[in-house]
Amino acid sequence: MYIENLVEIRDFPIFSDNKLVYLDSASTAQKPREVINGIKNVYESSNANVHRALYKLGSQSTEMFESARASIAQFINAASSKEIIFTSGTTESINLLAYTLGTQLEKNDEILISQMEHHANLVPWQLLAKRSEAKLKYLPLTKSGELDLSQPEKYFTQKTKIVSITHMSNVLGTINPIAKISKITKSIGAIFIVDGAQSVSHLPVNVQELGCDFLAFSGHKMLGPTGIGILWGNLEILESLPPFMAGGEMIETVSMESSTWNKVPYKFEAGTPNFVQAIGLGIAVEYLTNIGMKEVQDHEKKLTHYALSRLEKISGLYIHGTPEKRGGVISFNLNKIHPQDLAQFLNEDNICIRVGHHCAQPLLKMLGETSTARISFYVYNDSSDIDKLCKSIESTKKYF
């Protein structure tokens, strides 16, 4: 069976030598020529600071920057592009929320996350809980690696003020029932944040259907540049929050005694924004829109199904998690072979996989591992990548 990739592989310069097998897109995605050239073009022909320069170049770059914001708003079906805040990535988006929402938290309030969170959606809440003397609670997981929602009353209480859950696990690939969690969260009047680092890049995401209050994601995982990410938020809540970082552009007036704030989203974009990367992200979003996110999801489903069927046949290989709804991320361990050794052997065959704790140490502890091997797919992968991976795993096994 051959599953073809979804793109012209020529679009991606990194694959030009035809040898690279890249199975680490959950970590960061490769970039199409459109994005690379788009960034180059800004620097070469329209580079000027945005929202400041009163000359032609400045209005060009401002228009491109704001048009990227509008494309991103449309991509996730936000009600308005005012709800799109440019950050440096998911990590900054969640820290922004932990800081600003944190100012409203009181002693003994509760923050609810889950045992499958990436450290980016865990450590900021740990710090906030310490600062505000709130309690950090964890939704447990079932054996199959899904959120255990069988006892909601135990975790979603009148004291719960913030719920922050990943849409898709970066270790197990589990896709969580966000709309369902949204309903439970709304019933107790808490704020609901979704970590979309692994989902926005791989499946259709519609914030109005999800029903959450905030969604955080990263540009570099969705064919876009590094250093740029998004915080989408409900406009009314965003307007009620205090600023995060302070400096230029986020103010309306400044006197020696005090300041007033610019409108949302600019209130949360202090300093010169990463506008070239934001424009690059806008191009990546257009590229993904042209492919179609449903097509991206279906492609990865096929690859995942194929990979699972091939990996399951390798003796001594153990796959973590059997979630019913899953995306293109698979974690596994191999008897007696440390993931690090495996990665080194695969590297000899030009195969890139991720090994380690995947910034999810509490989850790894639950799995009884300190390190796993992880493969993940994207639009440029085809089934021959999986064939090469399996062949290389078999030859590694022979060596040990």
Q: Which one of the listed residues 212, 352, 359, 390 is annotated catalytic? A: 359
Residue 10 beta carbon to ligand PMP: minimum distance, rounded to whole angstroms: 27
Q: Does the footprint of ligand PMP cover residue 121 (CB under 6 A)?
A: yes
Burial readout 89-101 (b: 16 or more C-beta within 10 A, e: otherwise): bbbbbbbbbbbbb
Which residue, 3 or 231, is less far from ligand PMP as judged by CB? 231
Give the separation between CA 32 and CA 39, rounded to whole angstroms.
11
Residue 176 beta carbon to ligand PMP: minimum distance, rounded to whole angstroms: 11
Which residue, 195 or 300, is less far from ligand PMP as judged by CB? 195
Which residue, 46 or 198, is less far from ligand PMP as judged by CB? 198
First to last CA, the chain: 30
Give the separation between CA 18 and CA 37, rounded to whole angstroms.
21
Which residue, 165 or 283, is less far from ligand PMP as judged by CB? 165
Q: Does the footprint of ligand PMP cover residue 197 (CB under 6 A)?
A: yes
Considering only CA atoms, which of 286, 385, 322 is closest in space to residue 174? 322
Question: Which of residues 170, 174, 274, 277 is near ligand PMP by CB under 6 A?
Answer: 170
Q: Does the footprint of ligand PMP cover residue 392 (CB under 6 A)?
A: no
Contact segment (CB under 6 A) with ligand PMP among 50-58, 84-92, 278-286, 341-349 equals 84-92
Give me the DSSP letters along 248-289.
SSSEEEE-SS-EEEPPTTGGG--SS--HHHHHHHHHHHHHHH
Angle at 221 between CA 318 and CA 263, to 5 degrees: 135
Contact segment (CB under 6 A) with ligand PMP among 131-139, 191-199, 232-240, 263-271 equals 191-199
> For residue 161, which phi and psi values (nearest 5 degrees)?
-110, -30
Which residue, 3 or 97, is less far from ligand PMP as judged by CB? 97
Q: Is the peptide bond before 265 cis (omega within 30 degrees of 0)?
A: yes
Q: Does the footprint of ligand PMP cover residue 145 (CB under 6 A)?
A: no
Residue 211 beta carbon to ligand PMP: minimum distance, rounded to whole angstroms: 20
- Sites for ligand PMP among residues 85-114 (CB under 6 A): 89-91
Number of C-beta neighbours around residue 400 at 10 A: 13
Q: Does the footprint of ligand PMP cover residue 166 (CB under 6 A)?
A: yes
Which residue, 87 or 381, is less far from ligand PMP as judged by CB? 87
Q: Does the footprint of ligand PMP cover residue 120 (CB under 6 A)?
A: yes
**3-state DSSP assignment of residue 106:** coil
Instruction: At 173, list the tokens.
Output: 């690939």
Three-state SS across 176-225?
CCHHHHHHHHHHCCCEEEEECCCCCCCCCCCHHHHCCCEEEEEHHHHCCC
Give the separation between CA 146 and CA 177, rounded to whole angstroms.
9
Angle at 231 between CA 145 and CA 290, to 5 degrees: 80
Question: Which of residues 24, 109, 146, 195 is near ligand PMP by CB under 6 A?
Answer: 195
Residue 94 beta carbon to ligand PMP: minimum distance, rounded to whole angstroms: 7
Q: Does the footprint of ligand PMP cover residue 137 (CB under 6 A)?
A: no
Residue 126 beta carbon to ligand PMP: minimum distance, rounded to whole angstroms: 15
Which residue, 21 or 197, is less far from ligand PMP as judged by CB? 197
Residue 207 beta carbon to ligand PMP: minimum distance, rounded to whole angstroms: 17
Question: Residues binding ligand PMP: what is the number (CB under 6 A)?
Answer: 13
352 in catalytic set: no
- Sites for ligand PMP among residues 216-275 (CB under 6 A): 218
Number of C-beta neighbours around residue 4 at 10 A: 10
Measuring CA to CA, how many Å separate 262 from each of 93, 208, 388?
A: 19, 26, 53
Residue 195 beta carbon to ligand PMP: minimum distance, rounded to whole angstroms: 5
Give the separation between CA 364 and CA 216, rounded to whole angstroms.
23
Question: Which of residues 118, 267, 299, 354 is near ligand PMP by CB under 6 A?
Answer: 118
Residue 140 beta carbon to ligand PMP: minimum distance, rounded to whole angstroms: 18
Measuring CA to CA, how many Å separate 114 from each of 119, 164, 250, 319?
A: 11, 8, 33, 21
Beta-carbon-side half-sphere exposure of residue 281 (alpha carbons within 13 Å): 35
- Sites for ligand PMP among residues 320-359 (CB under 6 A): 359
Q: What are the residues binding ligand PMP (CB under 6 A)?
A: 89-91, 118, 120-121, 166, 170, 195, 197-198, 218, 359
Which residues have a catalytic role annotated? 359
